A and B are shown apart, each in its own frame.
Chain A
């Protein structure tokens, strides 16, 4: 074989290999059987998610990037009746299907809606993975992103209508607060609410900065409803 031909062949092989690496970097790991994840990122406008529809679409979009887009994805969020939107009460627990739900690695985090809202659920920092299979930085990490928006009470139902714990039903980065849960089940105090995955405390406000300031980053729980 002529020397230049050999070089060309080697170069081609190297290029091919490089291309393969580039492709692997662009293509996230696939998880077609996943039915639960925490969003790796939020829409970026604080708790203004475009309402429940916008939040669901965000879940769907992220799920599609890892090969799980064939399912119907729902954000775990409640909305409540308020001045702007009377009779808007929706309970997060009623919109996520029946379970069981499993994470990126196949770990079942809850077998049913009741199980999910009981002390028996298996949601914690090790299992509360993003759609890409990554853990989230919790207490002890800088920054801490353990606050996951839910707008819900511990049993997964909406707050009463005299409270705005949903940033005006996820349409505002200005008005109200949003209730969050701790995906790492850890907080500043050894209390039931600090250990709650879905109802730990309210955010400072509804802006992205406000969410970050209390230990979050505008992240959501997503469940495959079917």
Chain B
């Protein structure tokens, strides 16, 4: 075997590896059933309601090659004076799982698993649709707050509070419950370690979300 031929085989092998690697990556993205939005709609807690939030998930998923699935945002809405009969639980709108991230890591096997201490959401696994890590505690800026409007069980808050920015239609009224995707906060409490229900945002404007360690991001799940 001469040098040229050997080089050519090596090059082919390298090329094959590259192609296979690329295919694997594309396959993971196509099989992705969970991600954190790499960007928000930009109007704070005003997401255009649940429908607008779902459409945002769908759009980002499509850009990453996973648009053939039906995507829903992990958000609850609650009954209030403006929206009677609007109670929706985030846990009831995300399908049955299991769900895996952009790199094929399963973050939960079922709705129950997702809302138990056994779920695998962490800074390393809570990836965006692009497969990137979200800034958390220790990073500048910290963007670990995920909008959920939900309690620790993934259900809507009671009607005597407005922790959904008027059911995701307002950047003025109320506040939003957020979870910490990196499972870390300023204190060692069950809430600070919770992915879905850590604390309230300062308000519903984009600057308010940024002020408390977020950027208007939320979780998206494929329901089928």
Which 3 pairs between the two chains have the least Cβ-Cβ distance?
A162-B191, A193-B160, A189-B81
Complex formed: what's the CA distance from A205 to B192 in Å? 23
Chain B residue nearest to A162 (CB atoms) is B191
Chain B contributes a number of interface residues (CB within 8 A of A) equal to 29
Segment of B86-94, B122-130, B193-201 in the binding face: B193-201
B69 within 8 Å of A by Cβ? no
Q: Please state if A179 and B161 are interface contacts (CB–CB under 8 Å).
A: yes
A165 proximity list for chain B (CB < 8 A): 161
Residue in B151, B160, B187, B190 whose CB lies within 8 Å of A200: B160
Chain A contributes a number of interface residues (CB within 8 A of B) equal to 30
Complex formed: what's the CA distance from A193 to B84 in Å? 12
Residue in A164, A191, A199 whose CB lies within 8 Å of B200: A164
B185 proximity list for chain A (CB < 8 A): 83
Complex formed: what's the CA distance from A163 to B79 in Å? 18
Instruction: Fill in one digit per residue for A102-131: 1 if any B CB lies within 8 Å of its CB, else 0.
Output: 000000000000000000000000000000
B residues contacting A by CB (< 8 A) are 79, 81, 84, 151-152, 158-163, 173-175, 177, 185-187, 189-192, 194, 197-200, 202-203
A99 within 8 Å of B by Cβ? no
B159 proximity list for chain A (CB < 8 A): 191-193
Chain B residue nearest to A163 (CB atoms) is B200
Given A164-B200, A191-B159, 15 further pairs, Cβ under 8 A: A83-B192, A161-B190, A162-B191, A163-B177, A164-B199, A177-B200, A189-B81, A189-B84, A191-B81, A192-B159, A193-B159, A201-B160, A201-B161, A202-B174, A202-B175
Chain B residue nearest to A177 (CB atoms) is B175
Residue in B84, B158, B160, B191 whose CB lies within 8 Å of A161: B191
Chain A residue nearest to B172 (CB atoms) is A204
Q: Please state if A154 and B200 are interface contacts (CB–CB under 8 Å).
A: no
